[in-house]
Each structure stands twice: as C-alpha cells, then as structure tokens.
Amino acid sequence: MTKLRNKFDRLFTGHIRHFYSEDLKPKTKTKLYQALKPYGLTQSTFYLRLFDKGFSPWEIYGIKQVKTTFIKAHERELRAANEGSIRFKDNDGAFYEALRKTELITVFKSYMFELGMSLNTTQARFSKDNWKPWEQKGLKNLVTQFLDRYNEEE
C-alpha cells in the first residue's frame, strides 16, 4: 500500500499533475472510482482529471479546508461583518456574502484563482455555495480514507 500512497502523495503535493493510465492497476482504478462515486464524482470527471487534466488545488484540499484557511487568515474582518461570529452554514451563501460586506471579495477571488478556480466560477459557485460532496470534502481526504482500507495485494 505504501507504493500507492506515495503515488498519491506526489499528486497531492504537486510533484506530478496527473497519473498515466499505466500508473494504476485496472482493479485499483475501478475500486477507487467506486469509493469516490457516492460523493458525486462522475466517471468522466474522475478519469479526465486523474489521467489527463489533473485536479486543481482547491479540489484536492476541498471547499471546507479552503474556507477554514481563508477564515483563519481574515478572522477579525469576518467577525466584524458577521456579528462577531466566524461560523457560516454550508450551502447558503453566507460566507460569500460576508466577504462582500468586508470588501474581502477581491482578495478571496485572487486566493481562489491561485488555487485553480476562475474568477467567474468563484463568484457563481460561492454565491450559491452549492458543492458536490467530493468538492466539499476534498480529494485528498477521500483518497486517504480509501487508502486506509485498501489492500493493494488483492
């Protein structure tokens, strides 16, 4: 299992952008996809990203981690805009609305651009806060869970 974990570590740290088809055994590909499918990852997205385009950093970290990191970095401003709280409900757009109130919206869009999301997509996706479960949790978390249960010798 160490070999497979090392391969994914290289992907998650940016040492490689994507895998080549021969990097993973067919059985491993199938089992990995089956593990990710319940989180809303489609087969076409799975194969396109894993073996061609690669995943953006925001997809690897997950939206929850992206928000948490940004909130920690701008806690004071966000507390002021959100009546002293830095807690935001998922899927209601409150986080993005607080960014508008604090005028951090430009800073946040730049941050997301660095993580691989376009400015227009950032506005569209965060204003609705509508994410697939795999986008919320992040690929790294889901693959780590898979690797913890997976027996590479099977």
Cα–Cα distance, 1 to 150 (Å, whole number): 8
pTM of the predicted model as reported, rounded to 2 decimal places: 0.87
Burial class of 64 by CB neighbour count within 10 A (0 to 12, 13 to 18, 19+): middle
Confidence (pLDDT) at 79? 81
Per-block average pLDDT, block size 10, for the chain (154 residues)? 85 92 92 96 94 95 94 86 72 82 91 96 92 95 92 58
**DSSP letters spanning 106-119:** HHHHHHHHHTT--H
Tokens describing residue 86: 């830095």
